[in-house]
Structure 1
Amino acid sequence: MYLEHLSLTDFRSYAQVDLTLGPGVTVLVGSNGLGKTNLVESIGYLSTLSSHRVSSDGPLLRFGTEQALIRAQLVRGGQKVMVEVEVNATRANRARINRANPVRARDVLGLCRTVLFAPEDLALVKGDPGNRRRFLDDLLVVLLPRHAGTRSDYDRVLKQRNALLKSARSQHFSRTGVSETHLATLDVWDMHLAVVAANLLAARLDLLNRLRPHMAEAYAQLTDGSKLLRAIYRSSLDGPASQVQSGMYDAEFPDTLGEPASGAASDGQDLPDLSLCTVEELTEKYRVELVQSRTRELERGMSLVGPHRDELDLLLGQAPARGYASHGESWSIALALRLASFHVLDEDRHVAGNQPILILDDVFAELDAQRRRKLALMVASAEQVLVTAAVGEDIPEELSGSTVQVIPGGVIPDE
């Protein structure tokens, strides 16, 4: 698959811009601040309906406007498809496929598959657990678009349950205590949470099993291969001890738990292999854990069990990557995660010519010459590679291709 034409209206810094592309490598070159990242951000948005730079859609709209439009002409297996997404400030986003009647925005998921690597991806290694959970969930949505509904259902149930726990907590500290009505309602939401949590956890674990071999291989190819990159999934079903060990956090309480006192992370051999469980078995495990955690949850007024509390531990050799990996190692780990994503999507394609678009946003400036060349050799065979750079000299000669000059408010393709 490749992107043939991109048109943006009132997206970020662009009032209007049109960009014609082709298969192979295209390098977008321009000084910092001219909008190179805005272009590739819009392409990534078509893939996940979210930005890799901001958590909400508001900043995607050009200042002072109420709507942005992303229009893309894709070539998938020899067939062309037009995808349009309206990003709206005050109402739900909408989409169109081949200029048909408007549909829900999430109905276009799966049509434009991209893998985007950007400087923000260092947070996958150095940041809090939420970054790694989002990495898995965003890839799930691209791989299996139905999981957009799984995520939405989980977020909705979690929000409702947290509101109930917060209300019950206020009664818990009053003279009346928690009412029977609250407890009965909590039983209902416990079951809802157990079901959607089990579906989300099962999907994450299956995805991680697909990613692991590609992660290890990509990291070895980017480096001298002396250290093995591994990933251990730590679930809230593993109990409070593993939550403390992996440094889990939640939005209300800062991530201050840190690494184990010994400075070494567990290799996961002490944890049960939840990927062997069926969804029904995971549902029952969540139900039991929720019952056992109820007192603690009522005391804190929030849900302490569920995929929103989980962690993906990245281990480099025997040490946790977070806090122990060097800057260069952290970059290589983040690249390995994205390259693994590319290979998982490529293996999954059911239509010839539906390989994901690979986007490298301002990557090469941060890499030494050896890593630049290794990365270039690893990605050059992709059907379409889009690269941004402030100066063309940062791009290895192995990624020679067409060049587009990015100027204030627009683009100029090189002749």
Structure 2
Amino acid sequence: MDALWPGSIGELRLADFRNYTSLRLPVTSRFVVLAGDNGAGKTNLLEAISLLNPGRGMRRATYGDMARVGGQLGFSVRAAIHRQDDAPADVLTLVRADAGEGRQRQVRIDDVTARSADDLLALCRLIWLSPAMDGLFGGPAGDRRRFLDRLVLTLHPEHGRRALDYEKAMRGRNRLLADGRMDDAWLTGIELQLAELGLAIALARAQTVHGLAMAIRSGPTVDGTFPQAGLDLASGYEGLDLSRPGVDVEDEIAARLRAGRGQDRAAGRTLEGPHRADLIVTHLMKAMPAALASTGEQKALLIGLILAHAALTRQVSGLPPILLLDEIAAHLDPSRRAALFDILDALGVQSFMTGTDRALFAALEGRAQILTASQGMLT
């Protein structure tokens, strides 16, 4: 059995989640492999683990969709998460069956209700990769923003709350403009809030992209096993120098928002800000946009990004992240699969991986807890 370390899961329990009526899984290894047919519940288990961090999980599903069909309309995910010098934290995240349409997720840590789901980031950090992300580089900018924000959140726990507050303030400004309520004092107050939050969001993203670029150049994929990605950030503030003193930058953002009220009202939305940002990725060796690379190359680039980010997260937060890798081995040749497992081993992270064929994980025999998923059960 592997030694368990801070930030790792020692036990997982599910109740009425997706196709799991009830599940208790003692976790005994840093590698956990779930093998089985499509629809057996492998990805469902990864999704349950993803709820041990803030947000809507790796599928961004509604809570109603997560509740088991034929169950009690609610669900729970419970985990024992190891801490540095104390007993494991008992973490419970649940949606109550009697909450009706206004379902909200509740989080309890050691039987104490958490102030918010952000408190989970003090215990563990999660990074995931799923087949739905395979078209990330060529897809909409919004998908890349969400991907980047998940990476930022593992390094800057306050980022999620700032993003929510920014979206709320922006919606309020958009409504005022749409209704023709051009109250200068009211709009100015909202625009000052948008400037402060928007700059903080843009700076956190820029710091993450810079740190990730450094990790790519010196991190676990430097040997070329996975192609290296070049990264750049379009902040959403065209031509704005974010390196100047923060007060000066906030004042300029607020002034630009004030000057753009007419255009924003005509467009029906705010035309400038971090909600318009984009992560620009290139294939460094071939010096071309990642979107133009082959499907296999894009997958390899994405894996390389995730591995570099795992190394960066451990370095910055002190917590080895938990990786959720859905169908990770399907499009990798045997040598690259073996190299991936060795890199994960060297990183010292806990990894939950899925695949339809157990043989894809032959290089992990003797190092992994390998389970077969079938009809909401693990054997």
Q: TM-score range by the shorter chain?
A: 0.7 to 0.9
Percent identity reads: 28
Distance 1:234 1:101, change over 3 A: closer
Q: Any stretches of 5+ residues in structure 1 without a counterpart?
A: 169-178, 240-271
Query: Who is 2:73 aligned against?
Result: 66
Q: Distance in 1 between matches of 2:154 and 2:185?
A: 38
User: Following the alignment from structure 1 to structure 2, what is the Cα–Cα distance between the partners of residues 411 and 198?
Assistant: 46
Q: Name the CA shift for 1:281/1:208 in 2 (closer, same or farther; >3 Å).
A: farther
Q: TM-score, normalised by structure 1?
A: 0.80
Report the secondary structure of 1:364's partner residue. Answer: coil
Q: 1:61 & 1:124 partners in 2: Cα distance?
A: 28
Find the counterpart in structure 2 of residue 305 from structure 1: 272
Judged with a 3 Å threshold, the aligned counterparts in structure 2 of structure 1 residues 368 and 278 are, in CA distance, closer, same or farther, namely farther
Q: Please name the residue that 1:234 is paired with.
A: 234
Which residue identity does 2:162 align to in structure 1? T
Q: What is the aligned partner in structure 1 of residue 92 from structure 2?
A: 84
Distance 1:215 1:123 in 2: 21
- Answer whether contact 2:220 2:311 (CA < 8 A) is retained: no
What's the RMSD between the two structures over aligned residues? 2.3
Residue 3 of structure 2 corresponds to none
Q: Secondary structure at the match of 2:324?
A: strand
> Where do 1:338-357 residues align within 5 Å?
338-350=306-318, 354-357=319-322
Map of 2:4 onto structure 1: none
Count of aligned positions: 362
- Give the secondary structure class of the aligned counterpart of 1:83: strand
Measured against aligned partners, the alpha-carbon deviations of 1:193-245 in whole angstroms (never above 9, x if no partner) come to 111111111111111111112234555545476xx521111122215xxxxxx
**Equivalence for 1:13:** 19
Kept after mapping to 2: 8 A contact 1:93/1:104: no
Equivalence for 1:328: 296
DSSP 3-state at the match of 2:200: helix
CA contact (8 A) 1:85 1:95 kept: yes
- Change in Cα spacing, 1:105 to 1:55, as seen in structure 2 (3 Å) is same
- Alignment CA distance shift 1:281-1:339 (3 Å): farther
Instruction: Spell out the pairing of 1:7-406 with structure 2 (5 A cutoff).
Output: 7-63=13-69, 65-79=72-86, 80-88=88-96, 90-101=102-113, 103-168=115-180, 180-181=182-183, 183-216=184-217, 217=219, 220-221=222-223, 223=225, 229-238=229-238, 274=242, 276-317=243-284, 318-322=287-291, 324-350=292-318, 354-381=319-346, 382-398=348-364, 400-406=367-373
SS of corresponding position for 1:32? coil
TM-score normalised by length of structure 2:
0.88
Aligned residue number for residue 409 of structure 1: 376
Decide whether aligned partners of structure 1 residues 201 and 278 sit closer, same or farther in structure 2, where only a CA change above 3 A counts.
Answer: farther
Question: Structure 1 residues 194 and 48 mapped into 2: Cα distance closer, same or farther (>3 Å)?
Answer: same
Residue in 2 that maps onto 1:246 = none
2:10 equivalent to 1:4: yes
SS at match of 2:378: strand
CA, structure 1 residues 371+48, in 2 after alignment: closer, same or farther (shift >3 Å)? Answer: farther
Q: Which residue type is aligned with residue 135 of structure 1?
A: F
Instruction: Check whether the contact 2:54–2:120 (CA below 8 A) recurs between aligned residues.
Output: no
Q: Equivalent residue of 1:76, what SS?
A: coil
1:110/1:341 Cα in 2 relative to 1: closer, same or farther (>3 Å)?
farther
5+ residue gaps, structure 2: 1-6
